[in-house]
Amino acid sequence: MTAIAASVDERLRLAKDAAREIALLDGPRKSAVLNAVADALVAATADIVAANAVDLERGRADAIGEALLDRLRLDDARVAALAAAVRAVAELPDPVGRILDERTLPNGLALQKVAVPFGVVGSIYEARPNVTVDIASLALRSGNAVVLRGGSAAQSSNATLVRVMREALSAQGVTPEAIQSVDDFGRDGARALMNARGLVDVLVPRGSASLIETVVTESTVPVIETGAGVVHVFLDATARDDWARDIVLNAKAQRPSVCNAVETVLVHRAAADRLLPELLASLSDAGVTVHGDEATRAHDDRVVAATDDDWAREYGTLDLAMRVVDDLDEALAHIRRYSTQHTEAIVTADQTAADRFLAEVDSAVVLVNASTRFTDGGEFGFGAEVGISTQKLHARGPMGLAELTSTKWLGRGGGQVRA
């Protein structure tokens, strides 16, 4: 395998060169390479888990909190899941070469708009070693090279994962320079990646609101913004008791550290007496601390008083804000004010209310009678995801292979000249 380049600039240039080779691989070849990567990850499970244990020990010593420790943790089952996700990506249709538009001009010039790789995809993220594998596999499948900055919290895990994947590429006769990491350069590596215009074609940040804001404001490289998840569930007046309970519990307690976990539940005042006693008891049994308004607190003395800051907070923990609202209009107004435009859901038996919610909520994913935990590339059938975009240009919602391609027009003529 090629030796690791000594400088950030050299790694970026190697990735740029490698992107040309990766772009020319056909679909079956890319699938074979990804299946080899999955095999290598499984074979290296013990090494990966051991490296991750180093990161976990350091994270506990640094008191990074249970939410980040959960995102950081890799065990045998999670490594197997990473490999399975890579295999799923390998089986997806090749996004490159898709004909998106075609037309023939009156003079006979035939035009086709086709999907092509970006070239070099960069990503800056924190305490998420799964992202190292997810983005690398999606980048390779879509014909791109990738440059990763995974943060100090996961440095040992990421270094091992990158090494294993690069060795798998090399064993397949594919340049390992298509997967680069700048982790060992620390913040200087992140800054270089953000300012590598001309070498990196697009940059995707994943992590805290402050990390994303830093990348968006300081990058000269084009950024696809992935946003924080202040996610809402609205329990309408006609919400079924069991659906309200099960959806809220799943959305909050299944995995509270992720961005698609619900952070605020709004309850229609007409349903509060019916829904809240059982819902609050179930949340308490699941270890959830509810931060509620006065109307919510009247139903359970375990509810703590919500502050104004709670409505805008992405907890990432077993905490939940809850408010009773007069009607759908008030729920929509609350969501417009506090939403980060990630995911919102309504639980209702009223089709008119469902249709209004779908039409009026301006978020990347809007759901009716389903948990917000479904906002995920794997659940959407993408195999894995680059991130969940909360912007409106190019990509929005869970980002898979198609979002890692750009377009170009191909023209085939027979000597035409413009009059």
Same domain, 201 and 75: yes
What is the C-alpha to C-alpha distance for residues 144 and 129, in angstroms, rounded to an integer? Answer: 20
Are both 127 and 168 inside the same structural domain?
A: yes
- 68/135 same-domain check: yes
Task: State which residues of the chain have pLDDT below 70.
Answer: 1-5, 227
My answer on whether 241 and 307 are in the same domain is yes
Both 142 and 268 in one domain: the answer is: no
DSSP secondary structure letter of residue 130: H
Total structural domains in the chain? 2
| CB 386 within 8 Å of CB 403 | yes
Inside any domain, residue 1: no
pLDDT in tens, 39-48: 999 999 999 9
**Closest by alpha carbon to 52, among 183, 126, 158?**
158
Residue 88 covered by a domain: yes
Whether residue 178 sits in one domain with residue 33:
yes
Q: Same domain, yes or no, for 178 and 272?
A: no
Count the Cβ atoms, other than its own, within 10 Å of residue 327. 14
State the Cα–Cα distance between residues 320 and 251, nearest whole angstrom: 11
Cα-based distances in Å from 230 to 154, 323, 337, 341, 381: 25, 14, 11, 8, 24
Residue 191 lies in a domain: yes
Angle, vertex CA 82, rays to CA 313 and CA 18, nearest 5: 100
- Which pLDDT score, from 0 to 100, does residue 127 have? 82
379 part of a folded domain? no
Same domain, 277 and 165: no
Bridge-partner residues for 344, per DSSP? 232, 366
CB 269 within 8 A of CB 249: no
Q: What is the pLDDT of residue 68?
A: 83
The pLDDT of residue 213 is: 87
| Beta carbons of 296 and 279 less than 8 angstroms apart | no
> Is 201:222 a contact under the CB 8 Å cutoff?
yes
DSSP 76: H
> Can you list the pairs that 295-303 forms with residues at least 24 positions away whose Cβ atoms lie under 8 Å?
295/269, 295/323, 295/324, 296/267, 296/272, 296/322, 296/323, 296/324, 299/272, 299/273, 300/276
> Looking at the structure, do residues 269 and 159 belong to the same domain, yes or no?
no
Predicted local confidence at residue 120, as pLDDT = 97
Q: Are residues 293 and 198 in the same domain?
A: no
Q: Give, rounded to a whole angstrom, the gap between the first and last alpha carbons of the chain.
A: 55
Tell me, what amino acid is at 254?
Q
Domain that holds residue 291: 231-374
Write the DSSP string, 7-64.
SHHHHHHHHHHHHHHHHT--HHHHHHHHHHHHHHHHHTHHHHHHHHHHHHHHHHHTT-
Are 71 and 199 contained in the same domain?
yes
Strands of the sheet containing 365-368, edge to edge, are 304-305, 289-292, 319-325, 262-268, 231-235, 343-347, 365-368
Q: Tokens 């960069």 appear where?
A: 122
Q: What is the pLDDT of residue 394?
A: 77
Q: Which residues of 294-314 are buried (b: 16+ CB within 10 A; e: fewer)?
A: eebbebbeebeebeeebbebb
CATH code for position 80: 3.40.605.10
Query: 259 and 319: one domain?
Result: yes
pLDDT tens by residue, 332-378:
999 999 999 999 999 999 999 999 999 999 999 999 999 999 998 88
Cα separation values, 206 from 7, 138, 294, 385, Å: 24, 15, 35, 11
Q: Where are the beta strands (DSSP E) in 160-261?
A: 179-181, 202-206, 231-235
Residue 1 has what pLDDT?
A: 45
Does 401 fall in a domain? yes
Domain assignment of residue 2, yes or no: no
CATH number of 279's domain? 3.40.309.10
Cα–Cα separations (whole angstroms), residue 185 to 11, 148, 199, 359, 414: 11, 11, 17, 46, 52
Model pLDDT, residue 144: 97
